[in-house]
A and B are shown apart, each in its own frame.
Chain A
Amino acid sequence: MMLPKQGDPILVQNMTGRYGRLHTRLMLDYGTNVAAGSAPGKGGQSVEGVPVCNTVQEAVEKTGARASVCFVPAEFTLAAGEEALNAGIKLLVIITEHVPIRDELRLVEHAQKTGATIVGPNCPGLIVPSQKVKLGIMPAPSFSPGNVALFSRSGTLTYEIAGQLTGAGFGQSVAVGIGGDPINGSTPVEWMDFVQKMDETKAVVAVGEIGGDAEERLARHVEKSGYSKPIVAYIAGRHAPKEKKMGHAGAIIYGDYGTADSKIRALTAAGVKVAATPMEVPTLLKQVLQ
């Protein structure tokens, strides 16, 4: 697992689509080196002055890129992801929503074989403000350089909380959209371990929601590993009904599995401060950093 640095070449898959075009421009505006794009049959075109290739392989050969942002529609995400991993992409950010579970599992297996990291699917991407690196769709003004690592299963909630943090003077060392699906290419636990070793990171904010047991696993990991950096969490969905998918494919409670209460209890027992509202996150962060 490695974060891109300022100036590192980045690819955009399906660059000629509506979102590919829009976010190529916004990533360039942020200062990210979007070096090439790919779109089958669109080789030779350009978007915002960035050349488009027919395949990821060609784009990699042209630019030496090791990271790619994928805007390919869900039906074709598996093929596009495999294409990128086979072409040597080591950081694959998948923005696409509605990717089938079995396609996601195949991509996870493939990435484990090639030693690549997948972020998402169904996520806003990843941003490293100090490096002007934005691999995704998050609105730049909510983020600022700093020492808090932010992980979240939800897009707009990430922006909202990043905005609150920025407003309170807490910039971010890195912010990662884990993804709103039942299967995540990389998990909160993996990212926690990664930022543990990152000098710029002084504290962690983990934003979770109902569904699955990622937060319970995170809590166990914090306890077992004796995690050294202070953590503040926020869990959305305390008032959500059971058996209903709340927007995200992964945000669903089955019986007693995946409730906000279970997550909040596990995190609290592990010594993590859990905010009751997004607005409370900066306040708790101040406390744990004292």
Chain B
Amino acid sequence: MRLFEYQAKDLFKQYGLPVPRSILVNDVDGIRGAFASLKPPLALKSQVLAGGRGKAGGIAVVDDPTDAEREARRIFSLAIGGEKPNSLLVEEAYPHEKEMYLSVTLDRGDRAFVTIAASAGGVDVESMAGKVIRRISLDGIDGAFATEVAKQVQLPPIQVAPFVSVLLSLERLAREKECELAEINPLAVGKDGFLMPLDAKVIVDDNALFRHPEFAKLHPEDEFEGEASRQGFAFVRLGGDIAVVGNGAGLVLSTLDLVGDAGGNPACFLDLGGGAQQERIEAALRLVNRLPGVDRILVNIYGGITRTTDVAAGINTVLAEGATKPIYARVSGAEEEEARKLLAGTPVRMYGTAPEAVGAVVKGA
């Protein structure tokens, strides 16, 4: 679960990391209030989860309330990666001479957490020059380790102590809150050697949320995503007109590719999960039937542990409930002959292979 910047910065504060003074505003009217309590120039920052916020125009630096209201109006109505902000973070600009990069993140390939530090910040971590990557123990790091990292990135002596303090706090935050990523980019270097995180990116391990109830209510839930997660489905909205439903994440992912290759636009990715029972198929079909923009439904089931006859029975139940969007189904595997018989004479269009079903659903034939 990725946190919004303001949520990540609240977490930073809890862990003793410095952050610029700021106020969160939920509408344009809140901007004048911010000028009463903060010292301009102020940065207005769109609170969206999508990447590339700065480039997309989601940040503006303003000196007076009139400019601020105009910019706030613009940013509130600006969708970044399809996402409009519910709030803006209004923050005091921090005068600085230099920007650094610092993160604690999972290195999947090396199967370890690492800290990445670079004395020059940047947009692209991959190509960052002179970056230092150090493996860190699951039990944490100490001052000596952090000092070594400071030396490796060749910080001047005046910056070493502030850096050590920031790295120790960030690592403790990442470890205790079980983050996949805790990143400061940029980490501003002030004249006096003081370090100030200007942005904060935190991704918490979804699978560890059961140990962190404090994160449970941080996100406003999309109605459909909420229902899907209560049903135990893996579900992602994609914005097209063909709902893609199947059993198994990889199978549904490969079905999206077939749909995309055939020129179709998936409305969603819905993985029923392994061993799906009849009720789960029914719940999934009801959900995608209500999903805005859905015009046709593609069901791709490879029966193994999931019984194809259960799938057919579930489809029949939903058909009997009345109007459903046209269903194109490929159901194969154990008991597929019986499943076909169950669906014979219904409006469901049945296909023997995934490419056939995909070809038909994309054409809408």
A residues bordering B, Cβ < 8 Å?
Answer: 19, 22, 74-75, 98-102, 105-106, 108-109, 124, 137-139, 141-142, 152-160, 163, 180-184, 207, 209-214, 217, 234, 236-251, 255-257, 276-279
Establish whether residues A156 and B248, one from each chain, have CB atoms under 8 Å apart when the complex forms.
yes
Given known contacts A236-B254, A239-B259, A156 and B302 CB-to-CB distance under 8 angstroms? yes
Given known contacts A105-B112, A182-B108, A277 and B249 CB-to-CB distance under 8 angstroms? no
Closest 3 CB pairs of A and B: A154-B250, A156-B248, A247-B249
Please report the C-alpha to C-alpha distance between residue A94 and residue B117 in the assembled complex, in whole angstroms. 35
Establish whether residues A210 and B253, one from each chain, have CB atoms under 8 Å apart when the complex forms.
yes
Among the listed stretches B3-11, B20-28, B93-101, B201-209, which one makes contact with chain A, having 4 or more residues with CB under 8 Å of it?
B201-209
Cβ contacts under 8 Å, B334 to chain A: 139, 141
Please report the C-alpha to C-alpha distance between residue A49 and residue B272 in the assembled complex, in whole angstroms. 32
B residues bordering A, Cβ < 8 Å?
Answer: 2, 49-51, 81, 106, 108-109, 111-113, 124, 126, 138, 175, 178, 180, 205-208, 210-211, 234, 236, 238, 246-254, 256-261, 266, 269, 271, 274-275, 302-305, 332-334, 353-355
Establish whether residues B50 and A243, one from each chain, have CB atoms under 8 Å apart when the complex forms.
yes
Please report the C-alpha to C-alpha distance between residue A245 and residue B259 in the assembled complex, in whole angstroms. 19
Establish whether residues B256 and A239, one from each chain, have CB atoms under 8 Å apart when the complex forms.
yes
Establish whether residues B250 and A157, one from each chain, have CB atoms under 8 Å apart when the complex forms.
yes
Establish whether residues B178 and A250, one from each chain, have CB atoms under 8 Å apart when the complex forms.
no
Given known contacts A183-B108, A244-B236, A279-B355, A156 and B207 CB-to-CB distance under 8 angstroms? no
Given known contacts A141-B334, A159-B333, A236 and B253 CB-to-CB distance under 8 angstroms? yes
Name the residue in A210, A245, A256 with the highest tally of chain B Cβ atoms < 10 Å from its Cβ: A245
Cβ contacts under 8 Å, B111 to chain A: 105, 108, 183-184
Cβ contacts under 8 Å, B210 to chain A: 74-75
Name the contact of A160 in the complex, choosing from B251, B274, B355 (C-beta under 8 A): B251
Establish whether residues A246 and B254, one from each chain, have CB atoms under 8 Å apart when the complex forms.
no
Of all chain B residues, the one with the shortest Cβ separation from A279 is: B355
Given known contacts A154-B253, A183-B108, A245 and B236 CB-to-CB distance under 8 angstroms? yes
> Majority SS of interface residues in chain A?
loop
Establish whether residues A239 and B274, one from each chain, have CB atoms under 8 Å apart when the complex forms.
no
Please report the C-alpha to C-alpha distance between residue A139 and residue B258 in the assembled complex, in whole angstroms. 24
Establish whether residues B354 and A279, one from each chain, have CB atoms under 8 Å apart when the complex forms.
yes
Establish whether residues A105 and B138, one from each chain, have CB atoms under 8 Å apart when the complex forms.
yes
Name the contact of A240 in the complex, choosing from B51, B108, B253, B333 (C-beta under 8 A): B253
Cβ contacts under 8 Å, A101 to chain B: 106, 178, 180, 205, 207-208
A133 to B: closest C-beta gap in Å: 18
Given known contacts A101-B180, A105-B138, A156-B274, A209 and B250 CB-to-CB distance under 8 angstroms? yes
Cβ contacts under 8 Å, A74 to chain B: 207, 210
Name the contact of A159 in the complex, choosing from B253, B254, B302, B353 (C-beta under 8 A): B302
- Name 6 interchain pairs, CB-CB below 8 A, sorted by A: A101-B106, A101-B208, A137-B274, A217-B109, A247-B234, A256-B126
Please report the C-alpha to C-alpha distance between residue A158 and residue B355 in the assembled complex, in whole angstroms. 17
Please report the C-alpha to C-alpha distance between residue A246 and residue B249 in the assembled complex, in whole angstroms. 7
Establish whether residues B333 and A100, one from each chain, have CB atoms under 8 Å apart when the complex forms.
no
Name the contact of B207 in the complex, choosing from A108, A163, A249 (C-beta under 8 A): A249
Establish whether residues B253 and A155, one from each chain, have CB atoms under 8 Å apart when the complex forms.
no
Cβ contacts under 8 Å, A257 to chain B: 126
Of all chain A residues, the one with the shortest Cβ separation from B254 is: A236
Name the residue in B2, B205, B246, B305 with the highest tally of chain A Cβ atoms < 10 Å from its Cβ: B305
Cβ contacts under 8 Å, A239 to chain B: 256-257, 259-261, 266
Given contacts A139-B334, A237-B256, 19 further A-B contacts (CB under 8 A): A74-B207, A100-B208, A101-B180, A102-B178, A105-B113, A139-B303, A154-B253, A157-B248, A157-B253, A157-B254, A182-B106, A182-B108, A209-B250, A213-B109, A243-B2, A248-B250, A255-B126, A277-B261, A279-B354
Please report the C-alpha to C-alpha distance between residue A248 and residue B256 in the assembled complex, in whole angstroms. 15
Given known contacts A139-B333, A142-B304, A279-B354, A243 and B51 CB-to-CB distance under 8 angstroms? yes
Given known contacts A156-B304, A160-B251, A241 and B206 CB-to-CB distance under 8 angstroms? no
Given known contacts A239-B260, A241-B238, A138 and B304 CB-to-CB distance under 8 angstroms? yes
Of all chain B residues, the one with the shortest Cβ separation from A182 is: B108
Establish whether residues B257 and A100, one from each chain, have CB atoms under 8 Å apart when the complex forms.
no
Please report the C-alpha to C-alpha distance between residue A229 and residue B306 in the assembled complex, in whole angstroms. 34
Please report the C-alpha to C-alpha distance between residue A137 and residue B354 in the assembled complex, in whole angstroms. 23
Please report the C-alpha to C-alpha distance between residue A246 and residue B261 in the assembled complex, in whole angstroms. 18
Of all chain A residues, the one with the shortest Cβ separation from B239 is: A241
Establish whether residues B178 and A156, one from each chain, have CB atoms under 8 Å apart when the complex forms.
no
Of all chain A residues, the one with the shortest Cβ separation from B353 is: A279
Name the residue in A156, A249, A276, A279 with the highest tally of chain B Cβ atoms < 10 Å from its Cβ: A156
Given known contacts A100-B208, A182-B180, A255 and B256 CB-to-CB distance under 8 angstroms? no
Establish whether residues A251 and B126, one from each chain, have CB atoms under 8 Å apart when the complex forms.
no
Please report the C-alpha to C-alpha distance between residue A257 and residue B180 in the assembled complex, in whole angstroms. 15
Please report the C-alpha to C-alpha distance between residue A152 and residue B254 in the assembled complex, in whole angstroms. 13
Cβ contacts under 8 Å, A212 to chain B: 108-109
Cβ contacts under 8 Å, A236 to chain B: 250, 253-254, 257
Please report the C-alpha to C-alpha distance between residue A152 and residue B249 in the assembled complex, in whole angstroms. 12
Cβ contacts under 8 Å, B256 to chain A: 237, 239-240
A265 to B: closest C-beta gap in Å: 15
Establish whether residues A102 and B138, one from each chain, have CB atoms under 8 Å apart when the complex forms.
yes
B107 to A: closest C-beta gap in Å: 9
Please report the C-alpha to C-alpha distance between residue A106 and residue B138 in the assembled complex, in whole angstroms. 8
Name the residue in A109, A241, A242 with the highest tally of chain B Cβ atoms < 10 Å from its Cβ: A241
B294 to A: closest C-beta gap in Å: 17
Name the residue in B246, B249, B253 with the highest tally of chain A Cβ atoms < 10 Å from its Cβ: B249
Of all chain A residues, the one with the shortest Cβ separation from B266 is: A239
B199 to A: closest C-beta gap in Å: 15
A218 to B: closest C-beta gap in Å: 10
Cβ contacts under 8 Å, B304 to chain A: 138-139, 142, 156, 159
Cβ contacts under 8 Å, B207 to chain A: 74, 98-101, 181, 249
A240 to B: closest C-beta gap in Å: 6
